[in-house]
Amino acid sequence: MATILVIGGNFAGLTSALEIKRRLHDDRHRVIVVSNRENFLFVPSLIWVPFREREIEDISLPLRPILESHGIEFVHATATKIDAVNNRVETTAGDFLYDYLVIATGPALDYSLPGLGPKTGYTQCVCTPNDALAIREHFDRLVENPGPVVIGAAPAAGCTGAAYEFLFNFEYNLRKRGVRDRVELTWITPEPFLGHFGIGGMAGATSLLRKFMDSLHIHYIENAELVEVTPNEIILADGRRLPFVFSMIMPPFLGQDVIRNSPGIGNAKGYVPVHDTYQHKTYSNIFAAGIAIDVPAPFVTPIAIGVPKTGFPADEAGKTVGENIAKLVNDKIDLKSRPFVKIPGLCVMDAGHKEVIIVSNHLMKPREFAAILPNPLYDEGKRLFEKYFLWKTKHGYSNLP
């Protein structure tokens, strides 16, 4: 009987594990999830935490009951090294042997630029629960003593879209607190134009965002190459220095240490090279999904931009991994091919009591269909999706959209 080991328990890892177990139809096969976190986190909702619209417990679910109710073993530990030759993973809870391995370890945050990051530098980040909670205190201090704010993304940032959402929610909450007129707000982005999003852009997105920025009196700098942060200035490569009393900058992502500590598993950035089946290009019994996979950008920009490997494509990749591993366990070789760039684009971008719905038949160009639909009156779409996805996850309904 097969042992399938899944490293990671969020979008891609949880979906992979549930789909593998659902498709195998044989309780003699073991599925084990090793995760350094005990809870599933609905990461897209972290943008609301700094403004007290969500608490972390509102967007989290304990992993153990979800997995064990579906016959999946859960180990709360950190994976430290993968030995692909001997089919072994070293963890802080001991070593685990596997027949098939799924790497769904999510991102490490790259704060190598001087002055970048909340622990070693002077900028904040909304990528983790602790950092999102820390921004609350900074925001409260800003309301008491308003000053210039710079929000944006560093070169090769991992998720520009989330930085846009934070920007618009930040601006909205400044207005709610009655201090917007005393805060000069600047957006900086490595994108060659607003609305590139790391997917090559979409028709109408640039003009929509420019009008939106102008209407909210937000300054913006495209092709902005951040090179250094001092205690009170953002420094760009062209010599511009932007003063701030608060700054949130989305950093680049890297693969997790377990990949970078394992020779032959990932590339220099710690991402796993995979085929369109999400099967490792060297080791056929290793799969990867979510942020852990290597997705070369299908475009060239003057300043590097990260490809977004967000919740929806991670969930879709996890389903493909689950289907393909179940096939291999059952001695089938007709694996499903699902190129990452051809996964449909589906995103509800919250814009501070407004929202923009983005839909396309492919995440990347070329596309046969793409639409960007602004809703200037309400922002319920993402909130409803959050509720749906948490309900689906709590009950282990991995097969649902």
Residues with active-site annotation: 159, 347
- Peptide bond before 366: cis, by omega within 30 degrees of 0? yes
**Are the C-beta atoms of 248 and 126 separated by less than 8 Å?**
yes
Q: Identify residue 384 by its one-letter amino acid code.
A: L
Q: Which segments of 251-344 are extended strands (E)?
A: 253-255, 286-288
How far is Cα 155 from Cα 189, in angstroms, rounded to an integer?
8
Q: Is the dihedral of CA 73, 79, 85, 86 positive or negative?
A: negative
How far is Cα 34 from Cα 97, in angstroms, rounded to an integer?
12
Q: Is the dihedral of CA 110, 112, 117, 119 positive or negative?
A: positive
**Are the C-beta atoms of 155 and 251 separated by less than 8 Å?**
no
How far is Cα 382 from Cα 356, in angstroms, rounded to an integer?
10
**Are the C-beta atoms of 254 and 272 separated by less than 8 Å?**
no
Q: At what angle do helices 160-176 and 129-144 cross, to 10 degrees?
A: 40
Q: 3-state DSSP call for residue 121?
A: coil
Please tell me the chain's helix, strand, coil percentages from 3-state DSSP, rounded to the nearest 5.
Answer: 30, 25, 45
Q: 3-state DSSP call for residue 229?
A: strand
Tokens of 393: 């996850």
